[in-house]
Structure 1
Amino acid sequence: MSESDIRIGDAEREEALRALGEHMSAGRLELDEYGDRSALVTTAKTRGDLLALFADLPLPHPGFGQVPLSEPVSGPVLPRSTGSPLGHRLLRVAVPLAGLLAVALFFIVRNPFVFLVIPVIAVLVGSALGDDGRRDRGRRR
């Protein structure tokens, strides 16, 4: 198993969203690109998924705690779903729409803090999507 194949959790996704926010604040990312990358962060499953989003950006990048590589644990393998439910697909659209909403609100209220709506919605969507429900299906077995 390579370093990039290690699965990530919510803490790593939140750290990646914070780093993307810093890049947007520094002017390295446009709002649309920030929205696209934030949506991908919320659905990332592995370290490699996250690191690919920062390949063209300088530091900060998401850091990962020291998780030792170990031998795979044998056990039942849950089948992967072939598609995501409609609700999950609609939630994935929420982050880019939050970006558009933040731009519209900025022109109405003239306050740059409305751009904080984007990472808040990204974190909420990420926690709602989780790992596409696979964790819940495993608990029901």
Structure 2
Amino acid sequence: MDSPEIRVGDNERAEALNLLGEHFSHGRLNLSEFEERSAQASSATTRGELEILFTDLPAVTANVPETVQEKDNASGTLDHWREIVMGLTPLLALVLFFVFDTWLWFLLVPAVSIVLYAGRDNDDDKPEKKKKN
């Protein structure tokens, strides 16, 4: 491991500021802590001065974006709005058939599916396919 007395440059300070921003965005730092540590990172001259800013914080790992993504997916069913619209379309067509007494409303089912899914590759919606690419 390198000595903590090694001097740092602008790139190292910018990287430390970015990491502090990530910790702040995940709620690990409150605003005053973030401001204080950011000021210290901006004025740091050695690696030791930067390293001490992160001693009580967990290492940023590759699974942080997945955690954020899982939180976003838990927000509800908005990720599957196309499926919801397609599921409701036949019911709407049935109601309109009885109200207006014409079978042409059932043409909504293929029309809506064309509008919602035309030109889309079904594999793009599957998370396991996204991870492989």
Q: Is TM > 0.5 for Structure 1 vs Structure 2?
A: no
TM-score by length of 1: 0.41
Using CA pairs below 8 Å that are at least 6 residues apart, which structure has the higher relative contact order?
1
